[in-house]
């Protein structure tokens, strides 16, 4: 093989080598990466259970509507004068960070379905300019709402204090729950702490890459 042919061969070889390297680099850097967030639950098979609630538009929302979505879950009630206003205000930061992203949903469940009718939730949602297709304020059967809190989301949603039922008072949890695309719990965040709000915004981004 003369030097001219040898030179052409080497050039072609290095071009192919470069293409192979770039293809490998692109594949590695664009493939889904596992998040460092833990999977939380009683066991590795813990998932959000089937449910059926109604949002502020009167539309029935089920587990099928959140399949393949990253969800932020909270519990509140519209007439709350204590932690709820602050939790909802802080949730707007999460909402604004991902507004328009169809892969991110916010599910705010009432603990007071008797008062929080569809109309009441609609009025409440307007305070935050909430798009009902992305930020859903949910009401429904009280037992199912509370069972979802206790057994699916593993947070507290009680209407008792010291074991005594108080009709006009609700003891509820101030945490947001982060759910991944597979319906698994990936984190709990204090909805009253701004640093925790910043963290959940970052963690949502990580889960979207999985």
Provide the pLDDT for residue 118.
98
Strands 104-110 and 135-138: what pairing?
A: parallel
Nearest alpha carbon to residue 47 among 39, 59, 55: 39
Does the pLDDT of residue 165 top 90, yes or no?
no
Rg of the chain's alpha carbons, rounded to an integer?
24
**Average pLDDT for residues 106-115, to the nearest whole number?**
95
pLDDT in tens, 67-108: 999 999 999 999 988 899 999 999 999 999 999 999 999 999
Alpha carbons 20 and 163: distance in angstroms, whole number:
67
Provide the pLDDT for residue 158.
55
**Average pLDDT for residues 149-165, to the nearest whole number?**
67
Alpha carbons 138 and 55: distance in angstroms, whole number:
5
pLDDT confidence tier of residue 117, bands split at 50, 70 and 90: very high
Provide the pLDDT for residue 41.
82
Higher pLDDT: 3 or 183? It is 183
The pTM of the full predicted model, rounded to 2 decimals, is: 0.79
Provide the pLDDT for residue 81.
87
pLDDT in tens, 167-210: 444 557 899 999 999 999 999 999 999 999 999 999 999 999 98
Q: Are 40 and 120 in contact (CB under 8 A)?
A: no
SS3 188: strand
List, in sequence order, every beta strand (DSSP E) within the chain.
52-54, 60-62, 70-76, 104-110, 135-138, 157-158, 160-161, 164-165, 171-172, 175-179, 185-190
Number of Cβ atoms within 10 Å of the Cβ of 153 = 24
pLDDT confidence tier of residue 25, bands split at 50, 70 and 90: very low
pLDDT in tens, 47-73: 999 999 999 999 999 999 999 999 999
b/e 49-78 (16+ beta carbons within 10 angstroms → b)? eebebbbbeeeebeeebbeebbbbbbbbbb
Higher pLDDT: 29 or 107? It is 107
Distances (CA, A) of 30 to 11, 23, 70, 184, 197: 28, 11, 19, 24, 27
């Amino acid at each position: 093989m003369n030097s001219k042919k040898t030179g052409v061969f080497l050039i072609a070889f290095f071009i192919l080598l470069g293409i192979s390297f770039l293809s490998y680099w692109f594949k590695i850097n664009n493939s889904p990466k596992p998040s460092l967030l833990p999977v939380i639950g009683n066991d590795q098979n813990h998932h959000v259970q089937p449910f059926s609630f109604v949002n502020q538009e009167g539309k029935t929302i089920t587990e099928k509507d959140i399949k393949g979505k990253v969800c932020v879950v909270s519990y509140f009630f519209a007439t709350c004068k204590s932690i709820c206003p602050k939790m909802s205000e802080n949730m707007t930061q999460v909402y604004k960070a991902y507004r328009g992203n169809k892969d991110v949903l916010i599910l705010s469940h009432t603990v007071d379905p008797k008062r929080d009718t569809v109309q009441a939730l609609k009025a409440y949602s307007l305070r935050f300019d909430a798009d009902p297709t992305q930020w859903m304020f949910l009401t429904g059967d009280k037992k199912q709402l509370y069972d979802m809190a206790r057994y699916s989301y593993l947070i507290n949603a009680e209407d008792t204090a010291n074991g005594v039922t108080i009709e006009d008072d609700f003891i509820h949890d101030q945490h947001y729950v982060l759910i991944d695309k597979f319906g698994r719990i990936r984190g709990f965040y204090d909805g009253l702490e701004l640093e925790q709000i910043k963290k959940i915004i970052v963690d949502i981004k990580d889960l979207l890459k999985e």
